[in-house]
Amino acid sequence: MSSTAARGPVDSSRIPRYAGPATFARLPRTDEVPHTDIAVVGVPFDSGVSYRPGARFGGNAIREASRLLRPYNAAQDALPFALAQVADAGDIAANPFDIHEAVATVEAAAEELLRSGTRLMTLGGDHTIALPLLRAVARRHGPVALLHFDAHLDTWDTYFGAEYTHGTPFRRAVEEGILDTEALSHVGTRGPLYGKGDLTDDQKMGFGIVTSADVMRRGVDEVAAQLRERIGDRPLYISIDIDVLDPAHAPGTGTPEAGGLTSRELLEILRGLAACNVVSADVVEVAPAYDHAEITSVAAAHVAYELTTLMARRIAGERA
């Protein structure tokens, strides 16, 4: 990036927050800046869901909720939009009737965005999109560490014989060799499974598990420290299914499970990862049709803000 200062959000003291285009955090579009360090991109696709649809509308709901975000992240003591040029790249339009074509489209579009050296903050969409995003990121960085926040494992084999669904992306990613199997972790998992073999298969793939009950009993600081130790300084991809939060904190999602994290716990764990090399991230499964008073989209907007801050701080540190 040139020495030109990063262009930040619209000045809310001059233009009310409820006015103007609803880009993420009221930031410029990628075509309005000469270079983008972090591209916020939507993927309005939910043809891979197995229960309630609607996550195709999640990205724009998160953008709308992000109007209230402010430039200074007090929790991380950072001005993320000054540390790096963050811009909204719009949406990747994926075929809603052909999952194979949609996966290929997302992969190609993500690869094109990454080619310029940017990092991706992707707004889903259902969790199917994590696989093509990981393919593109791994092509740039090699096999990446994965930190997966979710109520579910998402390492099942198939649904109705389909290999690409929102419950299968990480099994496919392990099979394709695009994940660093020495540094894989689920956080926030809970709820019934199909059988004990689900856990056995998951462990064979290399995943460690921190359940939502573990977070409650051990606390966010200990959990964050454990995750930092497991990840080290490897290139890290963070994938967050918003159903990692309890339905009290995120009712607007497709597959809710009782007993999840609070918004505060999730945000604090993310803040505890400031030393990690986050190369890209996603927030998925926000389904606004089931969202009461925008609770879920507000939570997701703040999660995306924390992830963006982690990446911006890393970029600034690498330039220093």
pLDDT in tens, the chain (320 residues): 445 799 999 999 999 999 998 999 999 999 999 999 999 999 999 999 999 999 999 999 999 999 999 999 999 999 999 999 999 999 999 999 999 999 999 999 999 999 989 999 999 999 999 999 999 999 999 999 999 999 999 999 999 999 999 999 999 999 999 999 999 999 999 999 999 999 999 999 999 999 999 999 999 999 999 999 999 999 999 999 999 999 999 999 999 999 999 999 999 999 999 999 999 999 999 999 999 899 999 999 999 999 999 999 999 999 99
In terms of Cβ atoms closer than 10 Å to its own Cβ (0-12, 13-18, 19+), residue 181 is: middle
- 100 marked as binding residue: no
Check residue 3 and give its pLDDT: 54
Token pair 């008073």: residue = 293
pLDDT of residue 145: 98
Residue 152 marked in a binding site: yes
Give per-residue pLDDT as tens, 184-233: 999 999 999 999 999 999 999 999 999 999 999 999 999 999 999 999 99
The span from the CA of 169 to the CA of 134, in Å, is 9
Residue 4 is predicted with a pLDDT of: 78
Under a CB-based contact definition with an 8 Å cutoff, are residues 149 and 209 in contact? no
Q: How many CA atoms lie within 13 A of 134 on its CB side?
A: 27
Q: What is the pLDDT of residue 2?
A: 47
Q: Is 186 annotated as a binding residue?
A: no
CA distance 1 to 234: 23
* Residue-level pLDDT at 89: 98
Give the separation between CA 243 and CA 235, rounded to whole angstroms: 25
282 is in an annotated binding site: no
Is residue 243 within 8 Å of residue 256, measured between CB atoms?
yes
Domains and CATH numbers, the chain: 24-319 (3.40.800.10)
Query: Is the entire prediction scored with pTM above 0.85?
Result: yes
Residues 99/125, Cβ–Cβ less than 8 Å: no
91 appears as a binding residue in the annotation? no
Question: Any binding-site annotation on 127?
Answer: yes
Query: Are the C-beta atoms of 34 and 4 separated by less than 8 Å?
Result: yes
The CA distance from 83 to 240, in Å, is 23
For 11, the token pair is 């000045």
In whole angstroms, give the CA distance from residue 261 to residue 188.
Answer: 7
Peptide bond into 125 cis (omega under 30): yes
| 38 φ/ψ angles, rounded to the nearest 5 degrees | -130, 115
Rounded to whole angstroms, how far apart are CA atoms 6 and 316? 12
Residues 6+ apart with CB under 8 A from 302: 69, 263, 267
At 239, list the tokens.
């994938």
| Of 90, 92, 88, 108, residue with least CA distance to 45 | 92
Spatial separation of the C-alpha atoms in residues 81 and 71, rounded to whole Å = 6
What is the structure's pLDDT at 182? 97
